[in-house]
Amino acid sequence: MLDFSGKKVLVTGGARGIGAATAAAFQARGARVAVGARSAASFDAFAARFGAAGFLPALGDVGDRAGAYRVVTAAVAALGGLDILVNSAGIFVEHRIEDVTEADWTEMIRINLGGTFFCSQAALPALEAAGGNIVNLASDAGLIGFPLGVVYCATKGGVVNMTRAMAIELVRRVRVNCVCPGYVDTEMVHQAAAASGDAERYLATAKNTVPMKRMATVEEVAAAILYLASDEASFTTGAALPVDGGGTAA
């Protein structure tokens, strides 16, 4: 089992979904974890589910530079440094191209792309001091296109290529990788299903598009994140690892 004893970890978007599973997995393997959450209520809901031991709140909206710096600064101060940053904060909304508003465009780019970049920028001094690494949460939508997902695909494609560019610029200083999940059984996917008007059909279609005929669990995605963050992946940087049941291969 991967060992993160003594490691200091910040997981943005850590209060629910993949982020929450990732924070819990790091803590279970010995790490002290700062959980990035938008509000104290979000962190409290996380702590009620997973317990408070080994977790510290890092509250704020990472979608703008000032907010990202506040979250990272709070985490570094509480943890006494930083070894691993997981950029998991993100949003997902489906729209037809002709229905996308400027607000839709701006908000998804602000959080999915801007939050990932500015948290990484803010964390860089602490990560360099520790010889640490970054794992970004991208998506299979950053590798292939999906209908109704043009803006989301644009942001996650940006995360994938930003990961590569950062990895090269920071090579031998800080490793940078990303995970590209397909459909994952999360609250966000179930919200999208409900918004479609036919949740049962949406979820069935989602599963049937995956060669393995199911969605991933949050724990399966967390396991991939932990591997990339571990010493076992010490020669891996700039990678975009699909966790998609064969979706991008097909």
Look up 183 and say whether it is catalytic.
Answer: no
In the chain, list all ranges with CATH 3.40.50.720: 8-181+217-242
Span 209-227, pLDDT tens digits: 999 999 999 999 999 999 9
What would the mean pLDDT of 40-53 be, rounded to a whole number?
A: 96
Using pLDDT thresholds of 50, 70 and 90, give the confidence band for residue 188. confident
Predicted local distance difference test score (pLDDT) of residue 38: 95
Q: Would you say residue 173 has pLDDT above 80? A: yes
Q: What is the pTM of this model?
A: 0.96
The residue annotated as part of the active site, out of 69, 152, 202, 227, is: 152
Q: Which two tokens stand for residue 12?
A: 């943005």
Span 87-126, pLDDT tens digits: 999 999 899 999 999 999 999 999 999 999 999 999 999 9
Question: CB burial class (10 A; 0-12, 13-18, 19+) of residue 182?
Answer: buried
Percent of the chain with pLDDT over 70: 100
CA distances from 213 to 98, 193, 196, 216 (A): 31, 17, 20, 10
Distance, CA of 18 to CA of 205 (rounded, Å) = 21
Distance, CA of 31 to CA of 75 (rounded, Å) = 13
Predicted local distance difference test score (pLDDT) of residue 231: 97
Predicted local distance difference test score (pLDDT) of residue 250: 86
CATH for 8-181+217-242, options being 3.40.50.720, 3.30.379.10, 2.30.30.230, 2.60.40.10: 3.40.50.720
